[in-house]
Structure 1
Amino acid sequence: MFIIWFIYQFWIFIQGTSLALSFTRDLRNLTIIYKPNAFIYHICQTSHSINSKRIRWHYESLHDSNNDIDTYCKHLFQNFDCFDFYYGPSISVLVIKEPDMFIGKYTCQVNINSTYEIKSIGWIDVKLPVNDIDENEQSMKIYNENELGKLAMHYNVPFIFDANDLTSFGKRVQLNGVFYTECRSIESLYPINFLWIHLQNTSERTKKIRFIQHDGNRFIIQENKYSSSLLISSVDHSDDGDYVCIASNDFGRSFSSRRSLIVTGKN
């Protein structure tokens, strides 16, 4: 009887642990229009804080590629030439630096204990215009954003325009000054949601992420159907870093280039 009771209690413990932790922001199947000046950010968020060492990312290529770079990056998943990682108390972000090369399935795996884990899986499909490649010149055509925007409209996905946007470059702002940046997507028949994230490298090994939320005071986010702006007043050194705008709808996402803030001056 004791053995049966012990097994039952252990089962209750496992169920309670698994139910206590869940994904509040999980991976999705995404269609993304290629942008040469932007990365892809895969966000995995759990309902409770968890040690980042318990989170593992996995990638499976859509194609059986023998490409040396593809093989190298898959075998060394923490190779920062291909991927990068940022962490928050309950967040892990995988940064895909070569989106057109790494099309396939991504898995965010959270190890809860030695016997149980939860997974979130999402496919990434990166779209490019059809190339007319010259037989004597095997280089990829350079596309302008208007052409890529038309492709996004064809697939009903957002596409953020970065061209002629001076906010794409690093901005130096004096301590207690004001930082402002904005992003604009193509028009869409389907509702677009915007999200601002802040990426900060506090050291070579410590890379943090936070979601920026409107508080009506220091952080002001204003949105309409196709654009979003971020204003930070009274900046301090904790605001230093890169800001990325993410536009999403039911079919896909688009990511802005990094908008860097460099806070100068002493406290």
Structure 2
Amino acid sequence: MTPSSDNPVADTDEAAVEPLIDLSDSQWFLNRELTWLEFNSRVLHEAEDDRTPLLERLKFIAIVSANLDEFFMKRIGGLKQQIGAGMRELTLDGRSARQQVKECHAVIRAMEARKEELFSQVCALLQEKNILIEYYADLTPKERKQLRDHYYANIFPLLTPQSIDPAHPFPFISNLSLNLLVTVRSHRSREASLVRVKVPVGLGTQRFIRVGKGDHYVRLEDVMCNNLDMLFPGMEIV
């Protein structure tokens, strides 16, 4: 009897060799920006889950919005700098900076549509529990008087209008700031001009102002818009 070989490979012409992955092939890589947006989409999914407590759902919506703010400041801002510098180098996944911006915008528009629809649904559920975000114009005269007094005492001293015209440089708009762009006209010259007013969120003021003693709230910028006559006396708000 012929003894068998101790090495099975020796009985074959050539051992089968698995092909190596070509790491220069873009199909093996994910895009950093798009995968980050996918993560944010999963956060939004938590807000869409009706098993999540209602206020937690609202919190997740806020987290998604804050994440997108940061994404535009850092990621989209960086990509646009690359475009402005004329960089044509592709990422490992084979995308140019311009292509990434285009694809990110498409994903973000769809995400924003989901978020806005969900926010409306959550607000409706909050309303069933008598937690409301109201409009200033829908308040009673007594409630408007209360908010006007609050505005004059607590908000008005923090406001500094900045003109936008050939005699003044365009004002610096800081990241994450909320601003009003107001068109005013003098009764004497009838010439309209633009004025920027920064909403002082975070300077000891809250974005939502409580109305009365219940859980009814009005946005700070809504209160400001309806009391601009204090800020621009003797001028027409166009």
Higher relative contact order (CA 8 A, sep 6+): 1
Instruction: Compute the TM-score of the two structures, normalised by the length of structure 2.
Output: 0.27
